Amino acid sequence: MVDQAPKGWTMNEVAQKLALDIPDGSYVNLGIGIPELVADHVPEGRELIYHTENGLLGMGPVPSPGTEDPELINAGKKPVTALPGAAYFHHADSFAMIRGQHLDVCVLGALQISGKGDLANWSTGEPGAIPAVGGAMDLVAGVKHIYVISQHTTKTGEAKIVRECTYPLTGKGVVSRIYTNLAIIEVQPGGLYVLEMAPGVTKEYLQAQTDAPLVGFP
Amino acid sequence: MVDQAPKGWTMNEVAQKLALDIPDGSYVNLGIGIPELVADHVPEGRELIYHTENGLLGMGPVPSPGTEDPELINAGKKPVTALPGAAYFHHADSFAMIRGQHLDVCVLGALQISGKGDLANWSTGEPGAIPAVGGAMDLVAGVKHIYVISQHTTKTGEAKIVRECTYPLTGKGVVSRIYTNLAIIEVQPGGLYVLEMAPGVTKEYLQAQTDAPLVGFP
Amino acid sequence: MIQKVVGSLEEAVAGVFDGATVMIGGFGEAGSPIELIHALIDSGAKDLTVVSNNTGSGEVGLAALIANRRVRKMICSFPRTANSTVFPELYKKGEIELELVPQGTLAERIRAGGAGIPAFYTPASVNTPLAEGKEHRVFKGNTFVLEEGIRADFSLVKAHRADRFGNLVYNKTARNFGPIMCMAANTAIVQVKEVVEAGTLDPEQVVTPGIFVQRVVEIAHPAHESELVAAKRRYPW
Amino acid sequence: MIQKVVGSLEEAVAGVFDGATVMIGGFGEAGSPIELIHALIDSGAKDLTVVSNNTGSGEVGLAALIANRRVRKMICSFPRTANSTVFPELYKKGEIELELVPQGTLAERIRAGGAGIPAFYTPASVNTPLAEGKEHRVFKGNTFVLEEGIRADFSLVKAHRADRFGNLVYNKTARNFGPIMCMAANTAIVQVKEVVEAGTLDPEQVVTPGIFVQRVVEIAHPAHESELVAAKRRYPW
C-alpha cells in the first residue's frame, strides 16, 4: 500500500483546517515555523488575539518592508506588528498568562507525539547537541488546548506518532489534537481517534504510517 | 525614683531624632499614626522617597483642603499627594518591594518589643477581639531596618520593652532600633544598648521603666 | 468581533452562583466596585466566600453585601476599619467566618492563583500565630512558610478606562488589588468610568491586558463610598 | 538629591567583581544592553554567572562577553539561535557550563528573586529531563516541581526612558526581562535612550519604579546588534 502513497493535504490546507477549529475570540499562541501558517487562514468574521511570549498580546502581521522595528518582534525573533487593542508586558506577566491557563490554544510543531498525547518537540537527546527549550514546556503545561501541526512522518518516512516517545519529553499527556498532511487526530482517554482523513488516505495506509494504534475512525 | 519622673522628649522630638538617622536617598515606609510624624522632620538637603503599601512610591504631603482625591490615599486610607517622580503599581508589586528587601527603613508603632527585637503590634490577643493584621507582618519580614517609635511605657505605666512579648508576635528579632520619649535604644545580638537618653533620664530610671535588661549605656 | 462590554450591571454580574468565591477589589473605598457589589446583592447570590482587603464601611458596598448575609466567609487582611461595624458584629456572634492573611501574602496568593503557581514560600508571618499549622521550610538559613495560591470564580474590580478587548488602565492608588484579582478569576468583571475605542489605550500603558478580563460595564459616575457612609445610606436603598 | 544617572558607561558598570552573578536583559537583540555589555568586557570582570534568555549572536554583545571568556556559566532557556556560534563551540568543548531553564520558569524565578520569594511550585517541566532530581509535589491532583528564586549581584538592562529616580519605561517587546531583572539585582544598571526630568514620566505609566534601579546611563544612539552581526563586527573593536 505504501507504493501508491497519497500526498494528502498541503501544510497550508492543514493550517486552514486547524484555523477552523479555533473559536472566535480565542487567545492563541503560535509556535515558530509551520504553526505560523494558521494566522493566514482565520475564517472571515472571526477575531483571534495572538500572544507572543516575549511580551505582546494583539500581535499583527509581518510589517511591510522598511517598517520593521528590531524592538517589535515575535518569539521567533522576527519583526511583527501590534494591532489596535494590543498590550505589551514583561516576561513574568507573559508567562503568568501561559501558566495561569489564560490562553485558549497553542499550536506547536512536534518531533514525536505519543498515543497518550505526550509531546517531544525540543530535543532529539543526541549527545553533544546544544539543548534549548525556550517556552515550550511552559506552553504545554499551561495553555488549555495544545494542537500539534506537523507532517505525519519524518523526512525519512519514520513515524512521528509513536507508542512511546523516544526523545526527551516536552510534556506528558498534553496534546489535544494532531493535524497532519494525512489526518486530523484527537487524543482521547481511550487512545487516538481519527476525525478526518485526507483524500485518498485509507485506514490501513494511515495506520501503517502511524506507530501508535489508531482506535477510532470517522 | 518614679515620683520625680522626667517627661523626656515629645513625640515630635523623637520623630526628629529618628528622621536624622535615615540616610539621604532612602526608601521609607511609615506606619499609621505616630510614625507619620517622621515625614515632618526630614533634615534640609536630604531626599527620602516614601512608599505606601497600597501602591505608591513618591508619596507627598497631605493635600490642601478641597483637593483631596478619594483614589489617592495612603495605607491609613487618608488622602495624600504624589510628588514628581512618583509611580503607581498594584498590590503584588508593592509587596514585592517590601518582601524583596528593596525598602530601607520602616517606622512602626508597637504594643511590645522584646529585648531580642521581637515585635508585637497587631493584636492584644484578647478573646473576642477582631484580629486585623494589614501589612505589618510583611513589612517586618522584608524591610531592611525596622525602627519602632513609641511611648516608652503604656498609658497605664506598664513596660512596653519586655523580656518576652506576651501579645501575639508580628515578627521575631525584627526590630533594629527603638525610639521612645525616654531613650534611643539599639537592639544588638548581645541585648539592648542605649544610644541616647532624654534630658533628666538616668540609667536607673530608664531601667525601671523597662522590663527587659538594658545591657549598655552611652 | 470580541466585545467584552456589556450593557447593564445585571448582565455584568450574571451567573454568580451560590457558594462562589468572589474577589472584590479596593483598599478602603479606593477601587471598591460599589455598583458591581450592589448589583451582586440584587442578584441574590449567597454563601459567598469573599476575598477583599477590608470588610467595607457603613452599610453600602461590601459592608452591605455582608449585612445582607450573603457572605459565609471573608478572606482579608484588615477587617476592622473606621466605620466598619457590620463585619465585627457578625463575627462576634460567630455568624461569619474569617481567614486572616497578611496583606502582602494575600496579594501574592492572588497573583500566584492568576499565574498558575499553586504555592510559594514567604517570610511573612513566620513565628506568629498566622503561621501556626503551616509548613515551614528553611532556604539559605532563613525560615519561610508555605502559602497556596487563591483562585476565584468571579472578581469584581473597578478600573478607570477599558476598551472592547478588556484592556484596562486604573486611577492612582485605586489600582491596588485590581490587576491581580483580574488575573486570578475565571470571570473578571470590571466597572470603568469610560469605555474607549480599541486602539485608544497605548499598548505601552495598558496595566491589565484584556486576556485577564471577561466583562466590562461602564459606570460613568460611580458613587463615593465615603459620601454614602457619611449620609448613613444603606443598600438596598 | 537622589541622582541615579551616571556620566559614563565605565561608572555604570563599576564594581562588577570576578565571580559575580549578572543578569542581562533582552530577548534576542530586543532589549539587549549592548553598550553596557561592552563596558563590562572593558571592565575585565570574569568568572561570571550570566542569566539571560539567549547566548547572543555573532561576536558582539553577550556573545562577545562569552567569546572573551568572561562567563563561567550560563543560565538560560535558549542558547542556540541564528548566528549563535560562540556559546555552542565553547559548550561542546566543555569550557562553559549551562543551566537550561524553561523560559517561563526562568522569568518566574527571576521575579521570585526580586519579590523575596525563595521558592515556588510550577507545572512546567514535570515529566521531562529538566525536572529530574527536583522536588515534586501534588496540589489538587496535579503535579508540580519546586523551583528556587534567583537573585543577581548586578543586572544590565536596556530601557527607553528614565528619570533621576530610576523610574523606567520601555519600548515595545524590548521590555521582556528588563523589569524583573531590575527587581532581582542588588545593583540594577540600566541604559536608556533618553534621560528625562523628574515628573516627565506619568506615575500611571512607569513600568519599573525607581526603587528597583540603582544606576542609569544615557546612550542616545545604541547600536543594533543585528547590524553589527551582519557587518561581522567583533568586540573589542
Residue A79 and residue C95 in contact, taking contact as beta carbons nearer than 8 Å: no
Task: Estimate the crossing angle of helix D103-115 against helix A91-99, to 10 degrees.
Answer: 120
- In the 8-state DSSP scheme, what is residue A2? G
Here the cell at position B197 is 537618653
Chains that touch D (3 or more CB pairs under 8 A): A, B, C
| pLDDT, tens digit, 9 for 90 and up, residues D117-173 | 999 999 999 999 999 999 999 999 999 999 999 999 999 999 999 999 999 999 999
- Verify whether the Cβ–Cβ distance C30 to B54 is below 8 Å: yes
Q: Which residue of D has its CA nearest to B46?
A: D1
Radius of gyration of chain A (CA): 18
End-to-end CA distance of chain B: 20
The yes-or-no verdict on residue D215 having pLDDT over 90 is yes
Which CATH superfamily groups domain B11-216? Answer: Glutaconate Coenzyme A-transferase (3.40.1080.10)
What gap in Å lies between CA D165 and CA A97, rounded to an integer?
30
CB pairs under 8 A between A and C: 65
The yes-or-no verdict on residue D223 having pLDDT over 80 is yes
What gap in Å lies between CA C173 and CA C185, rounded to an integer?
21
Region C84-99: what's the mean pLDDT? 94
- In the 8-state DSSP scheme, what is residue D58? T
- Helical (H) or strand (E) element with A137: helix A136-142
Residue B105 CA, distance from chain mean position: 9
| B25–D contact, CB cutoff 8 A | yes
Residue D67 and residue D37 in contact, taking contact as beta carbons nearer than 8 Å: no
Of D112, D116, D148, Cβ closest to residue C123: D116
Contacts of D103 in chain A (CB under 8 A): 53, 91, 95, 133-135, 138
Interface C:D, ≥3 CB–CB pairs < 8 Å: yes
pLDDT of B3 reads: 54
Of C88, C98, C177, Cβ closest to residue B91: C177
The yes-or-no verdict on residue C82 having pLDDT over 80 is no
- Verify whether the Cβ–Cβ distance B96 to D165 is below 8 Å: no
DSSP of chain C: ----B-S-HHHHTTTPPTT-EEEE--BTTBT--HHHHHHHHHHT--SEEEE-SS--STBSHHHHHHHTT-EEEEEES----TT--HHHHHHHTT-SEEEE--HHHHHHHHHHHHHT--EEEESTTTTSGGGTTS-EEEETTEEEEEEE---EEEEEEEEEEE-TT--EE--GGG-TTHHHHHHHEEEEEEEEEEE--TT-S-TTT-SB-GGG--EEEE-SSPPPHHHHHHTT-BS--
Q: How far is A110 from chain D (nearest CA, A)?
A: 15
Tens-level pLDDT at each residue, chain B (218 residues): 445 688 899 999 999 999 999 999 999 999 999 999 999 999 999 999 999 999 999 999 999 999 999 999 999 999 999 999 999 999 999 999 999 999 999 999 999 999 999 999 999 988 878 899 999 999 999 999 999 999 999 999 999 999 999 999 999 999 999 999 999 999 999 999 999 999 999 999 999 999 999 999 99
Q: What is the dihedral of CA B108, B114, B119, B125, to 10 degrees?
A: -120
Q: What angle do CA B186, B187, B192 make, to 5 degrees?
A: 85
The yes-or-no verdict on residue A109 having pLDDT over 90 is yes
Here the cell at position C157 is 474590580
**Averaged confidence pLDDT in chain C:** 97
The yes-or-no verdict on residue A3 having pLDDT over 90 is no
Task: Estimate the crossing angle of helix C103-115 against helix B91-99, to 10 degrees.
Answer: 120
Residue B168 and residue B122 in contact, taking contact as beta carbons nearer than 8 Å: yes
End-to-end CA distance of chain C: 38
| A90–D contact, CB cutoff 8 A | yes
Mutate to test the interface with C, among A54, A83, A89 (most CBs of C within 10 A): A89
The answer for residues whose C-beta is within 8 angstroms of residue D163's C-beta and 6 or more apart is B85, D195, D196, D197, D198, D199, D200, D201, D210
Mutate to test the interface with D, among B47, B51, B71 (most CBs of D within 10 A): B47
Coil vs helix vs strand at D206: coil
What gap in Å lies between CA A27 and CA C211, rounded to an integer?
7
Chains that touch C (3 or more CB pairs under 8 A): A, B, D
Question: Closest Cα partner for C170 from C39, C52, C62, C27?
Answer: C27
Q: Which residue of A has its CA nearest to D28?
A: A77
Q: Which domains does chain C have, with CATH numbers?
A: 19-116+151-222 (3.40.1080.10)
- Verify whether the Cβ–Cβ distance C163 to A89 is below 8 Å: no
> In whole angstroms, how far apart are CA D71 and each of D46, D51, D224?
6, 10, 23
pLDDT of A1 reads: 45
Of C164, C165, C204, Cβ closest to residue A88: C204
**Averaged confidence pLDDT in chain A:** 95
Look-up of cell digits 519546586: D146
Q: Which residue of D has its CA nearest to A78?
A: D28
The yes-or-no verdict on residue D95 having pLDDT over 60 is yes
Coil vs helix vs strand at B68: coil
Instruction: Provide the ipTM.
Output: 0.97
Bridge partners (DSSP) listed for residue A186: A177, A193
Look-up of cell digits 522595528: A69
Contacts of A141 in chain D (CB under 8 A): 122-126
| pLDDT, tens digit, 9 for 90 and up, residues C172-221 | 999 999 999 999 999 999 999 999 999 999 999 999 999 999 999 999 99
Coil vs helix vs strand at B22: coil
Question: Closest Cα partner for C58 from C231, C180, C218?
Answer: C231
Here the cell at position C163 is 476598551
Residues of B annotated catalytic, as ranges = 53
- Rounded to 5 degrees, φ, ψ at A23 are -65, 155
- Helical (H) or strand (E) element with D35: helix D34-43
Here the cell at position C101 is 492573611
| D170–B contact, CB cutoff 8 A | no
The yes-or-no verdict on residue C169 having pLDDT over 70 is yes
Question: Closest Cα partner for B151 from B10, B40, B42, B2?
Answer: B10
| B209, burial (CB in 10 Å: exposed 0-12, middle 13-18, buried 19+) | buried
**What is the phi-psi region of residue B217: left when phi exceeds 0, alpha when psi lies from -120 to 50, beta otherwise?**
beta
